[in-house]
Amino acid sequence: DADVTQTPRNRITKTGKRIMLECSQTKGHDRMYWYRQDPGLGLRLIYYSFDVKDINKGEISDGYSVSRQAQAKFSLSLESAIPNQTALYFCATSDPGTGTSNEKLFFGSGTQLSVL
Amino acid sequence: SQQGEEDPQALSIQEGENATMNCSYKTSINNLQWYRQNSGRGLVHLILIRSNEREKHSGRLRVTLDTSKKSSSLLITASRAADTASYFCATDLNSKLTFGKGITLSVRP
């Protein structure tokens, strides 16, 4: 079983619809992240959470919201989807280990979202 | 904005050759990491080098870091067709990881 599981794997929706992408992890990590990947642009950080009570905006949070329901669950919502939110979305987790520096990220398999 | 910037954008080599990929960044960092992505799948961590380290090895991978030039390089030795993938550098500052746009590596059998 995957350590970081994203659902759904693929989703097609229409402009204006609300949609939720879900992420769950069995790694026991406190830190969770949502990134989006667009061709030629690499990965950009949307939101991140360092523990259940901590939510932080990333580089491109406009149009998105998140919920950290438990240590293991971090969901991303698009309140009113628009076509330029069509992208590949990744959830990731990390364990900071010692100190404040981030350690490596563990990624889910991604959700391909298409907004028509 | 992107912190890391990889060079070249695409690289095509013959199996058995070495592949060298470069990454430049703009601000100070805690560490720099390299990730690999196979065609639309999730990224997989390859190697991490801290700001006080200059070189690190892991199997066929060798990464160097020059903080004075704000640059890093990833060397894959004796490449294999299975190394075909996209490679990303990512810089860590204050526990936030920022990724570059990636390098597409093709290894011809």
Per-residue pLDDT reduced to its tens digit, A25-45: 999 999 999 999 998 888 999
Q: Are B19 and B85 in contact (CB under 8 A)?
A: no
**The pLDDT value given to residue A23:** 98
Question: Partners of A48 in the beta sheet?
Answer: A33, A56
> 3-class SS at A61?
coil
**The pLDDT value given to residue A100:** 54
Residue of A nearest to B1 (CA): A59
Is the confidence at residue B2, as pLDDT, over 80? no
What gap in Å lies between CA B55 and CA B71, rounded to an integer? 12
Q: Choose the weakest-confidence range: A59-63, A69-73, A95-99, B23-27.
A: A95-99
Using the beta-carbon criterion (under 8 Å), do B43 and A96 form an inter-chain contact?
no
Q: CA torsion A23→A27→A30→A36, rounded to 10°?
A: -40
Peptide bond into A8 cis (omega under 30): yes
Distance from CA of B29 to the nearest CA of A (A): 9
Amino acid A68 reads R
Using the beta-carbon criterion (under 8 Å), do A100 and B95 form an inter-chain contact?
yes
Whether A58 contacts chain B with CB within 8 A: yes
Structure-token pair, residue B76? 């894959």
Whether A26 contacts chain B with CB within 8 A: no
Question: Partners of B42 in the beta sheet?
Answer: none
Whether B47 contacts chain A with CB within 8 A: no
Q: Are A107 and A33 in contact (CB under 8 A)?
A: no
> 3-class SS at A78?
strand
Mean pLDDT computed over B58-80: 97
Residue of A nearest to B29 (CA): A101
> 3-class SS at A52?
coil
DSSP B39: T
Whether B38 contacts chain A with CB within 8 A: no
Whether B91 contacts chain A with CB within 8 A: no
Could you tell me how many CB contacts below 8 A there are between chain A and chain B? 64
For residue A10, how many other CB atoms are within 10 A of its CB? 9
DSSP A53: T
Distance from CA of A27 to the nearest CA of B (A): 15
Distance from CA of A112 to the nearest CA of B (A): 9
**The pLDDT value given to residue A101:** 58
- Considering only the beta carbons, identify the residue of B42, B96, B98 that sits closest to A109: B42
> Which of B105, B96, B104, B102 is closest to B4 using CA atoms?
B102
When the pLDDT of each residue in chain A is averaged and rounded to a whole number, the result is: 92
Mean pLDDT computed over B6-13: 90
**The pLDDT value given to residue B102:** 93
When the pLDDT of each residue in chain B is averaged and rounded to a whole number, the result is: 92
A96 band by pLDDT with thresholds 50, 70 and 90: confident
